[in-house]
Amino acid sequence: MAGETAGSAPTLHLRIVSAERSLVDAQVHEVQIPGAEGYFGVLPGHTPLLATLGAGELWYRVGQVTTYLAVALGFAEVLPDRVTILAQIAERPEEIDTARAEAAKKRAEERMNKPAIDMDSERARIAMMKSLIRLQVAARARTRG
């Protein structure tokens, strides 16, 4: 059964862990996850599933407050009462170095525009996606503040 407090909507236990640390361990009302095949939303009582993460913007909602994170690569385990995200990269907006993300985006663009024989195009595409997501999440935080 999904968690619930007296007089409130049902919640999920959300846990987000990256290779370096635990970022989120909270009761939430809703989560949107960037799956490898596209974004999907999770509410309490969701059917169990295991999904591969893509690079994207993950958000979760507690009441009327929505929090955004940049995540890339890993897995999401969804159960009716909890969601566990194991991500290679997971960052809060305030942790994103936008200058570094802009530089990474530029490098990826250059690699993709001038393919070399030994270039790994998939790696360049992933680098581009990660830098774009970081910039998107960081920009969202600036516009809310």
Question: For residue range 8-36, what is the model confidence (pLDDT) as tens digits?
Answer: 789 999 999 998 899 999 999 999 999 99
> Range(s) for CATH 2.60.15.10 in the chain?
12-91
Low-confidence ranges of the chain (pLDDT < 70): 1-7, 115-119, 142-145
> Range(s) for CATH 1.20.5.440 in the chain?
95-144
Question: For domain 95-144, which CATH number applies: 1.20.5.440, 2.40.50.140, 3.40.50.150, 3.30.1360.40?
Answer: 1.20.5.440
Phi, psi values for residue 10, rounded to 5°:
-60, 150
User: Which superfamily does 12-91 belong to?
Assistant: F0F1 ATP synthase delta/epsilon subunit, N-terminal (2.60.15.10)
**What pLDDT, on a 0 to 100 scale, did the predictor assign at position 93?**
86
